[in-house]
């Protein structure tokens, strides 16, 4: 499980998203575009994780 989380975090970084090892927060400072970018990056990373 830990190796899968590390792989997921690496996939997010490849997509320009920096996520801590355990938690992730959305802030009021994030714009709707930031949130869209992050959601798309997460979806893409999850898809790649499932496929490999």
Kindly report the number of other CB atoms within 10 A of residue 7's CB atom. 14
Of 27, 48, 33, 31, the closest CA to residue 13 belongs to: 48
What is the total count of domains within the chain? 1
Model confidence, pTM: 0.82
pLDDT score of 51: 92
pLDDT score of 42: 96
| CA atoms of 20 and 50, how far apart (whole Å) | 21
Using a 10 angstrom Cβ sphere, with 0-12 exposed, 13-18 middle and 19 or more buried, the burial of residue 11 is buried
Q: Which domain holds residue 32?
A: 2-51
- 20 touches 49 (CB < 8 A): no
| Tens-digit pLDDT string for the chain (52 aa) | 788 999 999 999 999 998 877 777 888 999 999 999 999 999 999 999 999 8
């Amino acid at each position: 499980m830990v190796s899968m989380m590390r792989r997921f975090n690496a996939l997010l970084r490849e997509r320009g998203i920096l996520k801590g090892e355990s938690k992730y927060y959305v802030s009021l400072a994030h714009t709707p575009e930031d949130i869209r970018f992050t959601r798309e990056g997460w979806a893409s990373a999850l898809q790649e994780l499932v496929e490999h």
